[in-house]
Amino acid sequence: MRNLKLLTLGLFLTVFCCTSDEGAAPCIVEHNLETNEAENVTANSARLTGSISIVSENCEIPLGAQQGFVYANSSTPNIDDNLITDTGTNISATLNGLAAETTYYVRSFVANSLGEHYGNEISFTTGQNNTPINYGINEYNVEFQGYDRDFIVYVPESYAHENPTPVLFVFHGLGGSNTSTMNSTGFNLIADQENFIAVYPQGTDFLNIAPHWNVGGFTNGSTTDDVGFVNFLTAYLSEIYSINSDRIYATGMSNGGFMSFLLACQLSDKIAAIASVTGSMTTETLEECSPIREVPVLQIHGTNDAVVPYDGVQAWNTSIEEVLDYWVMNNACSDTPDINTLDDVNLNNNLTVDEIIYNNGTNGTIVKHYKVFGGQHNWFQNADIDSSAIIWEFFSNYDLNGLIN
């Protein structure tokens, strides 16, 4: 990596708009865009910063439909090339999944009712990818906001640096561990078959009693920023592995399912889709939920769950129907679901399963629910329903842009 000084050059674009009122002062709109030199350039990633400000005289500032950065392997990139968006005056973004030893060209941009406007162009060249690949189970420990945080990364044999790879975060339940969750869910075997990296973070101790994820409700009093930790991990992993930043997913059981919903609410710019098994949303998560896009959601839940009741408990969990209603509305799905009853393969386990699908959401997204009649607080993995296989099959259909064509 190399440190580069920021460019002080700004690009000023002035637009004069005519008015039909004779003698009226002209409308003057000035677009000021600046692209700074790239930072933290590695073999597969780079950090971008810049600024965008719009000033107008005698008229309103035009609304900006999009803004951020455009980039390409050739000079003068535009919005028909690759783009990554951000909001505010000071913009920033991390490019992941870049090719090693390749020159990229970048410009800040804003596209609004007056057209497309671009800042100065910068370029950077990614480094050599000399990081050895340690296939299989890798254990990591980092310090984040004063806490020692552990996580496990499983790298399948099919992984290669030159191919950006999807990532699946798997969160344990309250009092659980990442090791037991890795061993019980079977996602490593699926990763070998489907070529994705599985990440198993470890929660911090809550009240010195049990590892947890800070989702509000039953974890009120926790000071751990777990959303910030996951955001940190996405950048940290991108410095080691070639990550497909459009295909980062989150799932978990119980408190881990709650955590997945929290990420859908607060990190929807990075998490492509989520799945919860026996989890829900706390009152705080629901009331403060603010996704910036549609998020495909899969919910697997038993009707006899005594820990996270299906119908909800005040100050503990929102009812599953209310959770589904929220995401159906957010994703603009059809209000009336398709309902399919799965084959009752095992007649001795007293379980039957309905597959409930709310279709036709924005960008092809759906909300899907497996309602397990008679099901308790379990990661369902039996002849009637295989949660892990269902989850990855669901995720494989989506990226940050919606349904994968």
Place of tokens 């000021």: 32
Same-domain pairing of 150 and 263:
yes
- Spatial neighbors of 177 by CB under 8 A, at least 6 apart, are 202, 211
Residue type, 229: F
**The pairing of beta strand 46-57 with beta strand 338-341:** unpaired
Same-domain pairing of 62 and 180:
no
- Picking from 73, 100, 125, the residue at the C-terminal end of a domain is 125
Is 176 part of any domain?
yes
In this prediction, residue 375 carries a pLDDT of 96
> What Cα–Cα distance (Å) separates residue 367 from each residue in 259, 361, 378?
18, 8, 21
Cβ atoms of 41 and 126 closer than 8 Å: yes
Same-domain pairing of 222 and 276:
yes
In this prediction, residue 238 carries a pLDDT of 87
Same-domain pairing of 271 and 160:
yes
> What Cα–Cα distance (Å) separates residue 48 from each residue in 38, 72, 125, 305, 389?
5, 14, 13, 46, 37
Same-domain pairing of 172 and 254:
yes
Structure tokens at 131: 């990081």
Beta bridge partners of 121: 107
Q: Which domain holds residue 118?
A: 11-125
pLDDT tens for each residue of 272-323 = 999 999 999 999 999 999 999 999 999 999 999 999 999 998 777 899 999 9
What CATH number does the domain containing 160 carry?
A: 3.40.50.1820
Structure tokens at 153: 């990364």
Q: How far is CA 7 from the centre of its chain?
A: 31
Q: In what order do the strands lie in the sheet with 82-85?
A: 82-85, 64-72, 103-112, 115-125
DSSP of 262-313: HHHHH-TTT--EEEEES----HHHHHT---SS---EEEEEETT-SSS-TT-B
Q: How many domains are contained in the chain?
A: 2
Cβ atoms of 45 and 27 closer than 8 Å: no
Is 168 part of any domain?
yes
- Picking from 125, 148, 163, the residue at the C-terminal end of a domain is 125
Q: How far is CA 33 from the centre of its chain?
A: 27
Same-domain pairing of 244 and 363:
yes
- Grouping H, G, I as helix, E, B as strand and the rest as coil, residue 254 is coil
Is 6 part of any domain?
no
In this prediction, residue 18 carries a pLDDT of 41
Beta bridge partners of 201: 151
Is 131 part of any domain?
no
Is 254 part of any domain?
yes
d(CA 273, CA 263): 10
Place of tokens 């009092």: 175
In this prediction, residue 62 carries a pLDDT of 67
Same-domain pairing of 121 and 149:
no
Same-domain pairing of 117 and 150:
no
- Grouping H, G, I as helix, E, B as strand and the rest as coil, residue 391 is helix
pLDDT tens for each residue of 71-90 = 999 999 999 999 888 888 89
Same-domain pairing of 243 and 280:
yes
Place of tokens 């892990």: 388
Same-domain pairing of 368 and 284:
yes
Is 251 part of any domain?
yes
Same-domain pairing of 270 and 375:
yes
Strands annotated E in 126-230? 136-144, 147-155, 165-171, 197-201, 204-206, 210-212
Q: What is the H or E stretch that residue 399 is in?
A: strand 398-399
Q: Which residue ranges of the chain lie beneath pLDDT 50?
A: 1-20
- 327 burial level (CB within 10 Å; 0-12, 13-18, 19+): buried
- Grouping H, G, I as helix, E, B as strand and the rest as coil, residue 186 is coil
Place of tokens 């910030």: 228
In this prediction, residue 397 carries a pLDDT of 97
